[in-house]
Chain A
Amino acid sequence: MTNSLTRELITIKNDILKVALDYGLDPFTTIFELVDYDELNAVASYGGFPTRYPHWKFGMEYEELSKTYAYGLQKIYELVINNDPCYAYLMKSNSLIDQKLVIAHVYAHSDFFKNNMWFSQTNRKMVDEMANHSTRIRRYADKHGETEVESFIDTCLSLENLIDTHSMYSVPKSSHSMPSMSVPDTDRITQPQVVKLKSKEYMDKYINTPGFMRKQKEKIQEAEDQKKNFPPAPEKDVLKFLIDYAPMRNWQKDILYTVREESYYFAPQAMTKIMNEGWASYWHSKILTQKVLAANEIIDFADHHSGTVAVSPGRLNPYKLGLEIFRDIEDRWNKGKFGKEYAECDDINKKRNWNLNLNLGQKKIFEVRKIYNDITFIDEFFTMEFCEKQKMFAYKLDTATNQYVITDREFEKVKKALLFRLTNMGHPHIAVENGNYKNRGELLLRHYHDNTELQLDEAIDVMKNIFLIWQRPVNILTIAEGDEKIISYDGQNVKQETI
Chain B
Amino acid sequence: MIKKIDKDQARFRQIVRGKIKKELRKYMTKSEFIGKEGKNIVSIPLPQINIPRFRYGNNETSGVGQGEGEVGSPIGQGDEKEAGSQAGDQPGQHILEVEITLEELAKILGEDLKLPNIKPKGKSTIIADKHTYTGISKAGPESLRHFKRTYREALKRQLAMGLFDPDHPLIIPIREDKRYRTWRLKEVPYNNAVIIYMMDVSGSMGDEQKELVRIEAFWIDTWLRSQYKKIDTRYIVHDAAAKEVDQHTFFHIRESGGTKISSAFTLCNEIINASYNPFIWNIYLFHFSDGDNWGVEDTKKCASLLEKELLPKTNLVCYGQVKSAYGTGQFKKDLETAFPDEEKLITSEINDLDSIYDSIKDFLGTGR
Which residues does A use to contact B, with CB under 8 Å?
A: 39, 42, 45-46, 51, 54-60, 62-63, 67, 150, 154, 157-158, 160-162, 311-317, 320-321, 390-399, 401-409, 414, 417-418, 421, 426-428, 430, 447, 452-459, 461-462, 465
A457 touches B90 (CB 8 A): yes
B7 at the interface (CB under 8 A from A): yes
A396–B75 Cα distance when bound, in Å, is 10
Given A316-B66, A427-B55, residue A59 in contact with residue B12 (CB < 8 A): yes
B53 touches A393 (CB 8 A): no
Q: Given the complex, which residues of B lie within 8 Å of A454, measured CB to CB?
A: 54-57
Cross-chain pairs A/B with CB under 8 angstroms, 14 sampled: A54-B8, A58-B5, A67-B99, A311-B67, A313-B69, A314-B76, A395-B63, A397-B58, A402-B79, A403-B76, A404-B76, A453-B59, A458-B52, A462-B52
Closest Cβ of chain A to B7, distance in Å, is 6
| Set B12, B54, B69, B77: member contacting A393, Cβ < 8 A | B69
Q: Given the complex, which residues of A lie within 8 Å of B11, measured CB to CB?
A: 54-56, 59, 150
**Top 10 closest A-B pairs, CB basis?**
A59-B12, A59-B8, A461-B52, A59-B9, A313-B75, A402-B78, A42-B5, A397-B61, A56-B12, A396-B62
A-B pairs with CB below 8 Å: how many? 181
A46–B63 Cα distance when bound, in Å, is 28
A161 touches B64 (CB 8 A): no
B74 touches A401 (CB 8 A): yes
A312–B109 Cα distance when bound, in Å, is 43
B12-47 interface with A by 8 A CB criterion: 12-13, 15
Which residues does B use to contact A, with CB under 8 Å?
A: 3-5, 7-13, 15, 49, 51-79, 81, 90, 99
With A56-B8, A311-B66 known, 7 other A-B pairs at CB within 8 A are A57-B51, A60-B12, A314-B75, A316-B64, A316-B66, A406-B74, A462-B52
Q: Given the complex, which residues of A lie within 8 Å of B12, measured CB to CB?
A: 56-57, 59-60, 63
A391–B75 Cα distance when bound, in Å, is 14
Given A59-B9, A63-B12, A314-B75, residue A430 in contact with residue B54 (CB < 8 A): yes
Closest Cβ of chain B to A254, distance in Å, is 19
Give A153's nearest chain B residue, CB to CB. Answer: B51
Closest Cβ of chain A to B49, distance in Å, is 7
B55 touches A428 (CB 8 A): yes
| Set A57, A67, A315, A458: member contacting B55, Cβ < 8 A | A458
Q: Given the complex, which residues of A lie within 8 Å of B4, measured CB to CB?
A: 42, 46, 51
A407–B59 Cα distance when bound, in Å, is 15
A51–B3 Cα distance when bound, in Å, is 11
Give B14's nearest chain A residue, CB to CB. Answer: A56
B59 touches A313 (CB 8 A): no
A160–B12 Cα distance when bound, in Å, is 20
Give B79's nearest chain A residue, CB to CB. Answer: A402
A8–B12 Cα distance when bound, in Å, is 40
Closest Cβ of chain A to B16, distance in Å, is 9
Q: Given the complex, which residues of B lie within 8 Å of A157, measured CB to CB?
A: 51
A59 touches B54 (CB 8 A): no
A51–B5 Cα distance when bound, in Å, is 9
A459 touches B54 (CB 8 A): yes
A401–B77 Cα distance when bound, in Å, is 9
Q: Given the complex, which residues of A lie within 8 Å of B8, measured CB to CB?
A: 45, 54-59, 62
Q: Given the complex, which residues of A lie within 8 Å of B81, measured CB to CB?
A: 402
Q: Given the complex, which residues of A lie within 8 Å of B57, measured CB to CB?
A: 452-456
Q: Given the complex, which residues of B lie within 8 Å of A316, measured CB to CB?
A: 63-66
Give B62's nearest chain A residue, CB to CB. Answer: A396
Closest Cβ of chain B to A42, distance in Å, is 4
A426–B63 Cα distance when bound, in Å, is 11
Give A154's nearest chain B residue, CB to CB. Answer: B51
B55 touches A455 (CB 8 A): yes
A399–B77 Cα distance when bound, in Å, is 11
B15 touches A462 (CB 8 A): no
A56–B9 Cα distance when bound, in Å, is 6
| Set B3, B54, B74: member contacting A404, Cβ < 8 A | B74
Closest Cβ of chain A to B122, distance in Å, is 41
A313–B99 Cα distance when bound, in Å, is 30
Given A54-B11, A409-B71, residue A417 in contact with residue B78 (CB < 8 A): no
A100–B73 Cα distance when bound, in Å, is 40
| Set A313, A320, A401, A408: member contacting B71, Cβ < 8 A | A408
Give A418's nearest chain B residue, CB to CB. Answer: B64
Given A56-B12, A417-B62, residue A158 in contact with residue B55 (CB < 8 A): no
Given A42-B5, A453-B57, residue A59 in contact with residue B10 (CB < 8 A): yes
Give A150's nearest chain B residue, CB to CB. Answer: B11
A465–B53 Cα distance when bound, in Å, is 10
Give B60's nearest chain A residue, CB to CB. Answer: A452
| Set A55, A59, A161, A397: member contacting B53, Cβ < 8 A | A161
B55 touches A406 (CB 8 A): no
A60 touches B5 (CB 8 A): no
A459–B53 Cα distance when bound, in Å, is 6
Q: Given the complex, which residues of B lie within 8 Å of A404, measured CB to CB?
A: 61, 74-78
Q: Given the complex, which residues of B lie within 8 Å of A458, measured CB to CB?
A: 52-55
A454–B60 Cα distance when bound, in Å, is 9
B66 touches A390 (CB 8 A): yes
Q: Given the complex, which residues of A lie within 8 Å of B52, measured CB to CB?
A: 158, 458-459, 461-462, 465
Give A51's nearest chain B residue, CB to CB. Answer: B4
Give the one of B56, B61, B68, B73 with max A CB within 10 A.
B56
Q: Given the complex, which residues of A lie within 8 Å of B78, measured CB to CB?
A: 397, 399, 402-404
Q: Given the complex, which residues of A lie within 8 Å of B55, measured CB to CB?
A: 427-428, 454-455, 458
Give B3's nearest chain A residue, CB to CB. Answer: A42
Closest Cβ of chain B to A142, distance in Å, is 14
Closest Cβ of chain A to B124, distance in Å, is 37
A394 touches B53 (CB 8 A): no
Q: Given the complex, which residues of B lie within 8 Å of A393, measured CB to CB?
A: 64-67, 69, 71
Q: Given the complex, which residues of B lie within 8 Å of A315, measured CB to CB?
A: 65
Give A415's nearest chain B residue, CB to CB. Answer: B64
Q: Given the complex, which residues of A lie within 8 Å of B3, measured CB to CB?
A: 39, 42
A485–B29 Cα distance when bound, in Å, is 41
Closest Cβ of chain B to A112, distance in Å, is 23
| Set B15, B49, B71: member contacting A407, Cβ < 8 A | B71
B71 touches A392 (CB 8 A): no
Q: Given the complex, which residues of A lie within 8 Å of B72, measured CB to CB?
A: 405-407
A391 touches B74 (CB 8 A): no
A394–B69 Cα distance when bound, in Å, is 11
Q: Given the complex, which residues of B lie within 8 Å of A452, measured CB to CB?
A: 56-57, 60
B67 touches A391 (CB 8 A): yes
A488–B66 Cα distance when bound, in Å, is 41
Q: Given the complex, which residues of A lie within 8 Å of B70, measured CB to CB?
A: 406
Give B15's nearest chain A residue, CB to CB. Answer: A56
Give B4's nearest chain A residue, CB to CB. Answer: A51
